[in-house]
A and B are shown apart, each in its own frame.
Chain A
Amino acid sequence: MFTLLQIELHKIYSRPRTYIAFAAITAIVLIFQFAFKYDGQSYMDLMLQNIQDNFEIDKSKAINGYFMCYIILNTLLIQVPILVALVAADTISGEANMGTLRLMLTKPVSRTQLLLVKFLASFIFTVCLLIWMAIVALFLSLLIFGQEDMLVFRVKGEESFILQITKDDIMWRYFAAFGYAAIALTVIVALGLLLSVFAENSIGPIVATVCIVLFFTIVSNMNIPVIDRNVKPYLFTSYLVGWKGFFYIGLDSSDQPIKGSIENWPAIKKSIYILLGHIGFFLSMAIISFRKKDILS
């Protein structure tokens, strides 16, 4: 199993395509950092709106490394599924397209094992992508913008508000958030893998995975009450942003943030279970389909 995993990883990392994802992430992060370094104030003005009429806020302090990472993740974690799909949805179909799948499947390795190894390899790729994101979006931002308390701008139902998390209470939240993101992105891995089983070229399943994710994400963010109540809970994309839950700090009875707390851990836990359920479902479907599949490519 370990040998097979090594082989799969070797394949992933020998391909130039793999590095597109890393390059894309780096580029996006650098653009964000550059933009905020030179014009973060206008973003802050937008977010703070009329609060500045009543309060004096040091915006240069508000735009710090922690805040930057949050803003970057906010955008990136919507795009990263595409990058993950690029690799995951290609795993089987890409081999089918290249013609290597039939050769691989004449080797004394069970299809289940092979699929699991491919899943694991894509998962490791995803984790590497997240680690890279942590390095450039978090640690590089901290280096450029420094450490300070973080403001979280949040809309909940009809309410908008700002949470302030003290700087000594943030790092663990990022670790938790990246961990959560790894689970969330693994759903995309499993979905991509499942679609990959049915296709004989990589474009189909990649496009299909991306379309499903985009479509569901759009529906998840429509903010139409009927959809929010009846459809949203059933879309896995609604749970992809659950990492933010770690930044929704708990409040005491007088609305003061409680250090080290999370507002709604049960909701995050539930989201994690739902995501794990999706992974399990997609992966089992992929295994069942792959075992039965006639290799005609």
Chain B
Amino acid sequence: MIKISFRVLLIILICHCNAFGQVNNALLKNVQAKLDKVTDYEAEGKMKTNVAFLKLPIAKVKLYFKNPNKFKLKSENGMSFVPKGSMSINLNNIFSNNKFTVIEAGDDKIANTNVKVLKLLPDDDTGDLVLTTVYIDPVNALILKSRTTTKENGTYELQMTYGNYLKYGLPDKIIFSFNTKDYKLPKGITFDFDDGSTQKSAAKTNVPKKGEIEIVISKYQINKGISNDVFK
């Protein structure tokens, strides 16, 4: 088993971060209150990678969380490609800096649910983070979507679908979208077998490529206590 840290997912834990504690926004407070019910959890998930240059089978994963901000994603079998990246570091930046301005940006709809849109602007504009937009379902006090724009690493998005663990604010499904760079091996390095079949599509140049990771989560075990060793 390899231990892999899926720090990106920290975004779903934003309410656990002290940062939000100081945000004087009723909606965010509600969200935080809901998430505070969970001190730790362990869950099983199936991770599907949709990236043009990665043809990977669905991976069985385990997710671990412990208050306040410990999170770990482990693959159950085989190898996994786990997205990491500067974005997660940037997220940490927001929450550790504790300084951002919340702007209410009106209402929107996600899959027939009315949502409130909040824009979080970092007070420190020297970092990579430019803007984080969160879409909150005010009725259930849940974050359905967030979008983060960075200077260097493009935009990435998190969409969450809730079901069985709605009352803890824990999603059944997470879709994480991000920008990928071009992957190109030098020709000739692989001595490939040319089977004569035509290639699917000419690569679209200059269009930023999107990658997507989809994790379907089940069997949450909430507040059963987790050893810190898991996160090592």
A interface vs B, CB < 8 Å? Answer: 47, 49-51, 53-58, 61-62, 74, 78, 148-149, 151, 153-164, 166-167, 221, 223, 228, 232-233, 238, 241-245, 248-249, 251, 254-257, 259, 263-264, 267-268, 271
Contacts and interface: CB of A to CB of B under 8 A. Distances in A.
B208 interface: no
Given A61-B2, A148-B78, A162-B56, 13 more contacts: A51-B54, A54-B178, A54-B181, A55-B83, A56-B83, A74-B190, A160-B183, A164-B54, A238-B194, A241-B193, A254-B48, A255-B50, A259-B57
B4 interface: yes
A221 B211 CA distance: 31
Contact of B191 (A162, A163, A241): A241
Please provide the 6 A-B residue pairs with the shortest distance between their CB atoms, ordered closest to farther: A157-B199, A267-B195, A149-B78, A161-B53, A160-B185, A244-B193
B84 to A, nearest CB: 4
Interface in B151-171: none
Nearest to A247: B193
B199 to A, nearest CB: 3
A166 B78 contact: yes
Contacts of A160: 53, 183-185
Interface string B87-104: 000000000000000000
B81 A47 contact: no
B127 interface: no
Contacts of B50: 254-255
Interface of B: 2, 4-5, 48, 50, 52-58, 78-79, 81-85, 178, 180-185, 187-200, 202-203, 211
B55 A162 contact: yes
B188 A223 contact: yes
Contacts of A257: 55-57
Contacts of B211: 54
Nearest to A238: B194
Most interface-central of A47, A56, A74, A251 (chain B CB within 10 A): A56
A251 B178 CA distance: 22
B84 A55 contact: yes
Contacts of A241: 191-193
Contacts of A163: 55
Given A221-B191, A255-B55, A259-B57, A54 B180 contact: yes
Nearest to A50: B181
Contacts of A251: 55
Contact of B196 (A55, A155, A233): A233
A168 B178 CA distance: 31
A241 B196 CA distance: 13
Given A57-B79, A166-B78, A232 B56 contact: no
B53 A56 contact: no
A161 B182 CA distance: 10
A232 B53 CA distance: 26
A55 B183 contact: no
